């Protein structure tokens, strides 16, 4: 019974999708001082990420409950089906926020003052789809703050470089969120919800995704130049660019059959791959901040 309940909670927050965000937080952590961070630092960063993401997902499910109930694709989620009550989700999101704050207070002192900047986009995002198709970029901001926060959590300073990582993640996430929104295009148009596919159509959306992903790669190259990173880093970028190109090739305006492969499989591989090559560069390369 308890295990089943835990499974419902994990499914509600799509815990397996943490693979999209965690590697980029670690990427910021490793690049911040060009070395492997201390174990306890990584532990608190991980706890902060899990707490923040769990809070954001639970809040999103709570605020979108009525929309999810009307959408055939999401009607089987825990809240619409009654597997979890509103009070269950409120308690879960509150505990998750508490976990995030606990982790924050065990990281660099400046984090104790900056944490609301992380939480505010989480609260705003669920409402954006009700009034703007820029909602994809707000979601990108939510995940893009992960490497910025990890960098600051280690160095206790604010530099331009982590914001390059954050911007790259923002555009990457906005792109794959547009992919995800394509499957709800009819529902969004019918219920006057805002998304780029609903606003501009599938063909234009696919072109926008390509521009966003190219921009993401350019920002990562810029980051490498700023930090004078080595060969491993650029190999990672090259492989990431190839995989993003392949991901974009999977979806055609008249063929969405590979949408789940593009969204789930490819993006998980990309985030892990990029992080691994950063680790190789930090450990085996000779980078140095300019």
pLDDT in tens, the chain (290 residues): 667 767 777 777 776 666 667 888 999 999 998 889 999 999 999 999 999 999 999 999 999 999 999 999 888 888 888 888 899 999 999 999 999 999 999 999 999 999 999 999 999 999 999 999 999 999 999 999 999 999 999 999 989 999 999 999 999 999 989 988 998 999 999 999 999 999 999 999 999 999 999 999 999 999 999 999 999 999 999 999 999 998 888 877 777 666 666 666 778 888 889 999 999 999 887 544 43
CA separation, residue 74 to residues 59, 64, 71, 191, 196 (Å): 16, 10, 5, 14, 19
* Any domain includes 289: no
Within-domain flag for 156: yes
Expressed as residue numbers, the domain containing 253 is: 2-284
Residue 110 lies in a domain: yes
82 lies in some domain: yes
Burial class of residue 63 (count of CB atoms within 10 Å of its CB; 0-12, 13-18, 19+): middle
How many independent structural domains does the chain possess?
Answer: 1
Question: Is position 154 within any domain?
Answer: yes
Whether residue 290 is contained in a domain is answered as: no
**Which residue is associated with the tokens 């960063």?**
45
**Domain-embedded: residue 19:** yes
Helices first, then strands: H and E counts in the chain: 15, 0
C-alpha to C-alpha distance for 142 and 138, rounded to whole angstroms: 6
The answer to whether 122 and 97 have CB atoms below 8 angstroms apart is no
With residue 204 as reference, give the H or E element that holds it. Answer: helix 202-226
Does the residue 93 lie in any domain?
A: yes
Give 37's DSSP letter.
Answer: P
Residues 78/11, Cβ–Cβ less than 8 Å: yes
CATH number for position 253: 1.10.357.140
CA atoms 182, 188, 192, 194: torsion sign: negative
pLDDT of residue 162: 93
Residue 40 CB neighbour total at 10 angstroms? 10
């Amino acid at each position: 019974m308890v295990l089943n309940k835990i499974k419902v909670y994990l499914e509600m927050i799509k815990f397996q999708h943490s693979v999209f965000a965690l590697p980029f937080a670690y990427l910021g952590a490793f690049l911040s001082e060009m070395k492997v961070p201390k174990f306890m630092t990584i532990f608190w960063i991980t706890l902060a990420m899990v707490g923040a993401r769990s809070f954001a997902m639970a809040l999103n499910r709570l605020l979108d409950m009525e929309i999810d109930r009307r959408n055939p694709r999401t009607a089987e989620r825990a809240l619409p089906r009654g597997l979890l009550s509103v009070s269950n989700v409120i308690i879960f999101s509150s505990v998750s926020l508490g976990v995030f704050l606990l982790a924050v207070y065990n990281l660099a002192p400046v984090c104790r003052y900056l944490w609301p900047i992380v939480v505010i986009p989480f609260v705003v995002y669920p409402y954006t789809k009700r009034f703007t198709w820029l909602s994809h970029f707000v979601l990108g901001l939510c995940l893009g703050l992960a490497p910025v926060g990890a960098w600051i959590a280690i160095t206790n300073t604010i530099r331009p470089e982590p914001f390059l990582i954050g911007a790259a993640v923002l555009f990457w996430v906005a792109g794959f969120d547009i992919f995800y929104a394509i499957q709800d295009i009819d529902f969004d148009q019918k219920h006057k919800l805002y998304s780029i596919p609903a606003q501009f159509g599938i063909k234009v959306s696919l072109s926008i995704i390509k521009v966003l992903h190219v921009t993401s790669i350019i920002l990562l190259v810029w980051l490498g130049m700023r930090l004078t990173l080595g060969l491993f880093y650029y190999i990672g970028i090259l492989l990431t660019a190839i995989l993003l190109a392949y991901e974009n090739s999977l979806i055609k305006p008249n063929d969405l059959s590979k949408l789940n492969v593009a969204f789930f499989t490819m993006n998980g591989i990309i985030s892990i791959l990029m992080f691994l090559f950063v680790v190789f560069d930090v450990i085996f390369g000779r980078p140095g901040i300019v």
